[in-house]
Chains A and B, each alone.
Chain A
Amino acid sequence: MKQLLSKISVGSLVVVMLVAASIGIFSVTSLQADETCMSPYMAKITGQEDFVYVLTLGVEGLGDGSDKLVTIDVRPGSKTYGKVIHTLSVGGRNEMHHAGLTDDRRYLWAGGLDTSMTFIFDIHSDPAKPRLHKTIKDFVAKSGGAVGPHTFYALPGRMMISALSNDKDHGGRTALVEYTNEGEYITTHWIPTEENKLGAKIEKIADGYGYDVRVLPRKNVMLTSSFTGWSNYMMDFGQMLGDEEAMKRFGQTVTVWDLHARKAKKVLHVPGAPLEIRFAWGPTHNYAFTTTALTSKLWLIYEDDKGEWQAKEVADIGDPSTIPLPVDISIGTDDKTLWVDSFMDGKVRLFDISDPFHPKPIYEKTIGSQLNMVSQSWDGKRLYFTSSLLANWDKKGQDDQQFLKAYEWDGHELTHKFTVDFYKEKLGRSHIMRFGAYSLYGKVPPSAVSN
């Protein structure tokens, strides 16, 4: 059974949410939509997903060597369950990284961290066979120098894109860039730096770096995190660990923005490269989690009782001295659990976050020799994992496994369902996943007709 919370005009959705929040009638089940961690403005697949779309990085000498969007059938009972049913090459190796859906969920945007090429896939015309709808080639020129479009986050009728670098020095100073859903450039918001604080209050330092972007509309808050610039994210990981200068260039900040005004308000000090940001969904839960990749810590970004946003380190992820390197995180719909993938040890860890200030590790499992992304279904029962972090950061030799692995979670144990070996299939490095479903577009799966 699939549900669709969409196609309400976005403005009215905001109003509804604000009103609902303020009078406290927002029932816990109504909008905790997270079939992993989508924008609150977006339609959700609350039942069974039909497809997992996997952004895949081309590998020189493997298959056509090109980046591609891979579609995997995950419909239980389908003849092609657990199989690749479609691949769409986009040409070149662009260091494809993250991808995000528009609020109407008709298009999937994906960005190349190297070339800044941005690909817009039509996933609604035929959800089983995405097609390339539009390619934005002038992201850098249009944005005024932002390089490496990363998170594509749905705002009403627009995409908020956080970049990672810039065209002046390939360092970490960067910007948020807004586009319309149609792919037209709107504006650029640079992230505060020491020299240009843009009116923000600086807790300790303003590095101007970027990574993820997330919003909490009912609090009019937008958060951005901070990774590193092109020179680092493109560099061989081993070389970088040995490069003292490079290791000094990682993000140390989470910036709190006024969402509607798009104005930076406060730059929090979160050293160690804070990456993914996940807001809690509960109507009174004014907080988000992030993890710092290098220092392997779980951080809470929260509103204190004076209405001020703060950052606090709340847990270790594994043994930080061994650099587990936490990467993707996924919050449960009830704000009680948080899955944390770590790259180096290939593990997923589950934290009990019912007390957000004192998260406790309650479960862990090794998924592969390396691990990056995790996506869970809306009901938290199905989890999907992929392996690639960045082309030149992935492990070398035997440990460079590239996969999508599907699991079921019964509240106690992860049970393996299927694996797609992305090297055996000559596809490449498997990165971010997004779910697709016929029901989103009022469509009936072709097989259902014959069923």
Chain B
Amino acid sequence: MSPISVSIVKKKGVILCLVLFVLFFFSKSLISDELAIRANLDDLALKRTKKSHLGLPKVPFPDDNLPSVAKIQLGRKLFSDRRLSHNNTMSCAMCHVPEQGFTVNEIATAVGREGKSLRRNAPTLLNVAFMAPLFHDGRETSLETQVIGPLLAVDEMGNPSAGYLIEKIKQLDDYDDLFERAFGRGVSIETIGQALATYQRTLISTHSPFDRFYYGKEPDALTSKEKKGFHLFIGKAKCVSCHLITEEYALFTDNNFHDTGLGWYNSMVKPTADQFIRVQLAPGVFTSISREVVKSVGHPRPNDLGRYEVTLDLSDRWRYKTPTLRNIALTAPYMHDGSLSTLHEVVMFYNQGGHPHDNLDPLITPLRLSKEEIEALVDFLNILTGDNIQELVLDNRSEKIGNPGAIFHPKVTCPPIIGP
């Protein structure tokens, strides 16, 4: 079930996407058309990194990695290539699924190579260009270096070493001279990182009803209930104190770390609080099973200490990075461990004042919102979806998924561009 509901994608996007869709799918036999469409998508992608976006700052990129079509193409290809994992099963896209808001809606915490369970929920990559530091604990500083983590982690893509991966890519025919074209030099951890970073910086999505209302000054872009939700967000509910909105743009994050009590509770209290867990066996059919039974078939999840794992500063225990709320309607389940399934549950969590304990952030207090106010706040969270989601999905899927033995389209040959 794709979480992308057409209703949230506004007219302009729909028309563009329909055109692209029709062109893309009905021209399969006509290679030249296909190339033209892909070139068009490439062009749009490059433009996304350069133009100004309603409600967002300028897309930042490092001086030594300015965007180009060749880099975007290469990064997009690497992103969906399952051969980039040791056993050819995991690509970045398997945990950041385009149709699922560039995260995974179907599991709370990510599953990596050979089924290894990770402790955390995969964050969306929509608008990741603006996120710094990266990861729930903020351990990474740039998209260029971030990729080393998943590529080499035994429980994610599990490559035995960087050198091994580089050799493997060199031997894949379809990569041919793509690195040389994009960077003027060959495959290396640096160029892999730069290509993936460039592609990820094209995943810009804005122009949501909120943006049109707040930055576009379209008073009718929101219903009165959504407006009420917005006023709660910036007023009584205090959400905006961490999920920032400024005069010029809104990232809905302070890129800082806070303890909402959730991490502490899920690590310290929950595992021993209830002896039974409720399990859904089929829609509407539930049973309770004891933790003993769960233990007999499962490895316990190691504790997650949040920011502390990076700084080793005790006051950082169970602090997590404030995530953006853009496109939040597409990226369930929520929080660093995916433990809240719906936006309603999230708002209820804040309404109760999180999970009080020593370290709780002072901004997290019981909110005493009425039922109507809770609904209005949820409605507001639901209108933060950008208008080009379909375009981004289509853009991603214009590249064939890398599998062993895959036969690739003739390459789109753009002139070798070094730099911008």
Query: Once the chains bind, are A138 and B404 in contact (CB under 8 Å)?
Result: yes
> CA–CA, A255 to B337, complex, Å?
35
The yes or no answer to B398 lying at the interface (CB within 8 A) is: no
Which segment, of B35-43, B246-254, B291-299, B319-327, faces chain A? B291-299
Interface residues of B in 393-408 (CB under 8 A from A): 401, 403-407
* Given A114-B89, A140-B404, CB of A395 within 8 Å of CB of B114: no
Query: Given the complex, which residues of A lie within 8 Å of B117, measured CB to CB?
Result: 235-236, 239
Which of A92, A93, A242, A249 has the most chain B CB within a 10 Å cutoff?
A242
What count of chain A residues pass the 8 Å CB interface test? 61
Contact with B along A233-255 (1 / 0, CB 8 A): 11111111111111111101000
Minimum CB–CB distance for A145 against chain B, Å: 7
Minimum CB–CB distance for B240 against chain A, Å: 28
Query: Given the complex, which residues of A lie within 8 Å of B298, measured CB to CB?
Result: 236-242, 396
Query: Once the chains bind, are A245 and B341 in contact (CB under 8 Å)?
Result: yes
Chain B interface residue bracket vs A: 35 or more
Query: Given the complex, which residues of A lie within 8 Å of B299, measured CB to CB?
Result: 236, 238-239, 396
> CA–CA, A399 to B297, complex, Å?
9
Query: Once the chains bind, are B108 and A272 in contact (CB under 8 Å)?
Result: no
Query: Once the chains bind, are B82 and A167 in contact (CB under 8 Å)?
Result: yes
> CA–CA, A245 to B404, complex, Å?
30
> CA–CA, A406 to B277, complex, Å?
36
The yes or no answer to A410 lying at the interface (CB within 8 A) is: no
Interface residues of B in 263-300 (CB under 8 A from A): 277, 279-283, 285, 287-289, 293-300
Beta-carbon nearest neighbor of A114 in chain B:
B89
Query: Given the complex, which residues of A lie within 8 Å of B104, measured CB to CB?
Result: 169, 231
The yes or no answer to A115 lying at the interface (CB within 8 A) is: yes
Which segment, of B26-34, B50-58, B92-100, faces chain A? B92-100
Query: Once the chains bind, are B111 and A137 in contact (CB under 8 Å)?
Result: no
Contact with B along A46-62 (1 / 0, CB 8 A): 00000000000000000
The yes or no answer to B88 lying at the interface (CB within 8 A) is: yes
Query: Given the complex, which residues of A lie within 8 Å of B297, measured CB to CB?
Result: 237-238, 241, 344, 393-396
Query: Given the complex, which residues of B lie within 8 Å of A137, measured CB to CB?
Result: 404-405
Minimum CB–CB distance for B281 against chain A, Å: 4
* Given A321-B287, A396-B298, CB of A168 within 8 Å of CB of B401: yes
The yes or no answer to A1 lying at the interface (CB within 8 A) is: no
Return 29 A-B CB contacts under 8 Å, by A number: A93-B114, A95-B115, A114-B114, A138-B406, A141-B403, A141-B404, A141-B406, A167-B403, A168-B401, A169-B106, A230-B89, A231-B104, A234-B114, A236-B299, A239-B298, A240-B298, A245-B106, A245-B108, A245-B332, A245-B333, A246-B106, A247-B281, A249-B106, A249-B107, A250-B282, A295-B282, A344-B297, A396-B297, A396-B299
